Structure 1
Amino acid sequence: MNNNNISYKQPLLETPFHSKTREKCYAHDWFRWAGYKVVRQYTNAELEYTAIRNTAGGIDITPMHKYSIKGSDAKSFINKLITRDISKIKNNQVVYALWCNEDGYIVDDGTVFCFNEDDFIICCAERNLNWFEDTAMGYEVAIEDISKSIAALAFQGPLSCKILNMLGAKGIENLKPFDFGNYQINNKEVMISRTGFSGDLGYELWIKPDIATQVWDDLFSFNHYYKILAAGLTALEMVRIEAGFVQVNADFIAAEQALRPNRMRTPYELGLGWIVNLEKDYFTGKQALIRHKEKGPEKKLVGLDIEGDKPAVGSVIYDNSKKNIAKEIGIVTAAMWSPVLKSNIAIGFVNKEHYKLGSKVYAEIYHPEELDYRKIWAKCKVVKKQFFSPQRRYDIPADI
């Protein structure tokens, strides 16, 4: 071991944007993600959320794990790895995918970028190098962790396309959702994908680390006129709840990290059966997923529209309003008061007797008030997880 690489004064890694994020992080509120130091909130999470929903916000997502998959069997390997069929994927296309173990439980989810038949990149939140290498046995592929070679910035919000266009990204408005390409940002080449975790019009910028701070300055040069703000992970969590997106180790535990078998989840329990293609010849977990589908999920992740304005964070879900006979039927995994929707919303698991849309259930909310808690018994309605999905998210060309 090279002791020169160990620093007890800097226990966490810094992203290529750190000099800029540190400058703006007045709250000094940091979060550990994949060994990196990233901002939880810069000043006020609600203001950062407001920027994403009304103008645009920039989020440092560099700690995402990025894996290069190259070789003559690259597509075949990925088709074995993931539940989705990518046999017809096109160059410069991105697909959302997940991968399971042999028992049909989700290991992780992420995005697959296709450069050509023999060249892909997979981006995901958790470390998956060992899983990928084990799955690739017998395939002519080279798998490399390239996480440190790419700085990543999510640029999300209704003005995101306009700002990128003003910076010289010509034709960015014609980029289709889940496509990517190379563009010029003030004469600096940047790969941009029309993807994101906000459920709104937005892009993700994949940047060489040595020009990362320059691209950051370019984006935020419009702050004075357009109120573009740097946003932390708390604001990102707020918009992803509204979008109904699932988050590993929040809404489900990665199968390879779960200490208890009953904490693992199948795609059908998360409402992600639409990206499981059981017609494929073979992929890891196929036989188990056939059985899971035939049996049907015992519980399912659903959206909840909750009465009142007190977020149901961590609340237990019950089947009846009469407390003395009510039975536990689920739990809330994420919740918030949505400023844009003016609603108290949540995502959570409920059992099969109650996950049908329109079902009435009840949440036991413990709301903190100064140094005490107030217990609230709130009525809930089971709804779709996708609370927020504006048309501008899909428009081609995008609004500039």
Structure 2
Amino acid sequence: MMLRTAFHDRVQALNQSNSWYDWKGYTSPSSYEVVEFEYFAIRNATAVFDLCPMTKYLIEGPDSEAYLNRLMTRDISKLKVGRVGYSVWCDDQGQVQDDGTVFHLADTVYRLCSQERCLDWLCWAALGFDVRITDETAAIAALAVQGPTSCATLRAMGFDGIEMLKPFGMRNFPFANSEVMISRTGFTGDLGYEVWTTPDLALPLWDALFEAGRDHLIRAVGSEALNIARIEAGFIQAGVDFVPAEQTIRPGRARSPFELGLGWLVDFDKPHFTGRKALLAEQKNGSRYRFVKLDVEGNKPAEHSFIFNARKQVVGTVTSAAWCPSAKTNIAFASLEMPWGLPEHRLSAEIYYNRELKWTRLMATCRVITDPVFDPERRRMTPAPSC
């Protein structure tokens, strides 16, 4: 039987499309009504997404920093209390296990949030460290509150000072004779926050949020709208844009941070970390693949398409694709064999689409783009706008 989140009663009441999917065993909405309306709420108003199924691990103990620094490719010792950092972690071959966010809650106390369930891997990696790792996925209820009026909505709830919270910052705020934690984080590439609480406060939090957001065009959104926003923002997703190394069966299907465009997360100046030797060798000898962002001709998303070079040879595949309304661009992420994927390369995507029961094949020209397609100033501004 599928699990239900702490917000399920409110989510179900709003889900007019009755469209659901399985998110790690939880019933989660794909859409509530019209995906386009939900997407534009993310970009023009306040959008709310139920984050309860997201994997959450509490990591605490005297060796918690040393443990995370050994696990992660990024230098966790630089992450101060009250700050959030994005990182990846690899296996011994330098292949990415998952990516996620690390919250430094207090001295020797961290929370790791990720897409995949990886408790067994984390526990094996903890051998020899004085740490405790607790799966708190079910114990923490969370909402993503995203969009240009998100700060105004949260301030209307009484969270005074929320506008001064910096990107990747977090702090506690009083709520209902208790506290909630709010972080300025999200998966939309826009101004936004994530609100963290306990299941017993979930429904009061939802009700207060939607009451405060009525004048700010608040709307609940599902995974389909969020997927468009994260592609537009250039964010990759585990299980979609790469296969976690622990789940691969066939050799060569996993990817390194360099092969996912995440080389900036690899810090060779810090002490030893899992996969360091393999990644040093890759840095010296070169990668097998290049992860690129493509501007695809036309408006048909190039989902699951093959990418061809000018000689009509297959050189890669599309991992994610969407027509992105705010950027007015048909975006695709693709994993290409080296040396392909430079801006000067002539590439095309083989797109199939169905119209009135007839499948049509389209070869669409692709252009490699390196600049962000959606990167509003408001996502970085402090104080946050609309407050």
Same fold (TM over 0.5): yes
Counterpart contact for 1:30–1:40, Cα < 8 Å:
yes
2:288 paired with 1:302: no
Q: Of the candidates 364, 371, 386, which is equivalent to residue 378 of structure 1?
A: 364
- Counterpart in 1 of 2:218? 228
- The aligned runs of 1:141-290 (5 Å cut-off) are 141-185=131-175, 189-222=179-212, 224-290=214-280
- Counterpart in 2 of 1:350? 336
Counterpart contact for 1:300–1:350, Cα < 8 Å:
yes
Q: Deviation per CA, 1:191-216, whole angstroms, max 9, x where unpaired?
A: 00000000000001111110111111
Question: Partners of 1:59 and 1:256 in 2: how far apart?
Answer: 28
- Counterpart in 2 of 1:19? 9
- Counterpart in 2 of 1:7? none
Question: Partners of 2:355 and 2:175 in 1: how far apart?
Answer: 48
Q: Secondary structure at the match of 2:78?
A: coil
Unaligned 5+ runs, structure 2: none
Structure 1 runs of 4+ off > 4 angstroms?
185-188
- Counterpart in 2 of 1:363? 349
Displacement of 1:310 after TM fit?
1.1
2:313 paired with 1:327: yes
Question: Partners of 1:386 and 1:101 in 2: how far apart?
Answer: 30
Q: Secondary structure at the match of 2:145?
A: strand
2:379 paired with 1:389: no
- Counterpart in 1 of 2:70? 80
Query: Counterpart of 1:21 in structure 2: which amino acid?
Result: V
Counterpart contact for 1:303–1:386, Cα < 8 Å:
no
Q: Secondary structure at the match of 1:261?
A: coil
Displacement of 1:16 after TM fit?
0.2
Q: Deviation per CA, 1:317-336, whole angstroms, max 9, x where unpaired?
A: 0002xxxx410011111111
- Counterpart in 2 of 1:3? none
Counterpart contact for 1:62–1:153, Cα < 8 Å:
yes
Q: Secondary structure at the match of 2:89?
A: strand
The CA RMSD over aligned residues, in Å, is 1.3
- Counterpart in 1 of 2:32? 42
Question: Partners of 2:181 and 2:271 in 1: how far apart?
Answer: 33
Query: Counterpart of 2:340 in structure 1: which amino acid?
Result: H
Identity of paired residues, percent? 44
**How does the TM-score come out when normalised to structure 1?**
0.94
**How does the TM-score come out when normalised to structure 2?**
0.97
Displacement of 1:82 after TM fit?
0.5
Larger deviation, residues 193-202 vs 347-356: 347-356
1:385–1:184: structure 2 CA closer, same or farther, 3 Å change rule? Answer: farther
Give aligned pairs, total. Answer: 386
Query: Counterpart of 1:295 in structure 2: which amino acid?
Result: N
Counterpart contact for 1:84–1:98, Cα < 8 Å:
yes
Q: Secondary structure at the match of 1:130?
A: helix
Counterpart contact for 2:156–2:213, Cα < 8 Å:
no
Question: Partners of 2:329 and 2:117 in 1: how far apart?
Answer: 35
Question: Partners of 1:200 and 1:303 in 2: how far apart?
Answer: 19
2:302 paired with 1:316: no
Counterpart contact for 1:83–1:100, Cα < 8 Å:
yes
Counterpart contact for 1:168–1:187, Cα < 8 Å:
no
Displacement of 1:358 after TM fit?
4.4
Q: Of the candidates 135, 159, 165, which is equivalent to residue 125 of structure 2?
A: 135
Query: Counterpart of 2:258 in structure 1: which amino acid?
Result: Y
1:39–1:47: structure 2 CA closer, same or farther, 3 Å change rule? Answer: same
Question: Partners of 1:174 and 1:24 in 2: how far apart?
Answer: 32
Query: Counterpart of 2:316 in structure 1: which amino acid?
Result: G
Q: Deviation per CA, 1:359-399, whole angstroms, max 9, x where unpaired?
A: 33111111211201111111110012732111100011101
Unaligned 5+ runs, structure 1: 1-10
